[in-house]
Amino acid sequence: MKEQEIPLHKYKSEIQRVEISVRAVEDIPLRKDKWDKFGSLSGVLSGILVAIIGFYATTVYDARKAREESAREKQHLAILQVQTLGGFIPYLASDDEKQKKAAIISIAALGNPELATEVALVFGGTGSSSALTQLAATSTPEVARSAEEALSQLFARFRAGVVRIEIENQLFTGFFVSHDGLVVTAGHAAQILQTGNYDLRLLDGTKVKAQLVHVDRARDVALLRAEISRSVSLPLSDERVEAGARVIGLGQTPEKAWLASVGTVTNVGVSGQTIQFGEGRTVITTNQIETSLRSYGGFSGAPVINPAGEVIGMVQAGREDEPLSLLVPAADISATLNDARVDRS
Model confidence over 67-105: pLDDT tens digits?
Answer: 777 766 665 555 565 565 667 778 788 788 888 888 888
Pick the range with the lowest mean pLDDT from 29-33, 107-111, 301-305.
29-33
d(CA 267, CA 283): 18
The residue ranges of every structural domain in the chain are 90-154, 158-226, 246-335
For the chain, give the percent of residues with pLDDT over 70: 73
pLDDT reading at 260 higher than 70: yes
CB 122 within 8 A of CB 148: no
**Which amino acid type is present at position 286?**
T
The CATH superfamily holding the domain 158-226 is Trypsin-like serine proteases (2.40.10.10)
d(CA 27, CA 21): 10
pLDDT reading at 149 higher than 80: yes
d(CA 282, CA 184): 20
Same fold, 158-226 and 246-335: yes
Q: What pLDDT was estimated at residue 187? A: 87
Q: What pLDDT was estimated at residue 313? A: 95
Q: What pLDDT was estimated at residue 206? A: 84
Q: What pLDDT was estimated at residue 296? A: 75
Q: What pLDDT was estimated at residue 34? A: 53
pLDDT band at 30 (very low <50, low <70, confident <90, very high): very low
Cα pseudo-dihedral 332, 337, 340, 343, rounded to 10: 180
pLDDT reading at 253 higher than 90: no
d(CA 74, CA 72): 5
What does the pLDDT average to over 283-290? 80
Average confidence score pLDDT of the chain: 78
User: What is the reported pTM?
Assistant: 0.69
Q: What pLDDT was estimated at residue 45? A: 63
In sequence order, which residues have a C-beta less than 8 Å from that of residue 196 and are 6 or more positions away?
Answer: 190, 211, 212
Task: Please provide the CATH number assigned to the domain covering 246-335.
Answer: 2.40.10.10
pLDDT reading at 152 higher than 90: no
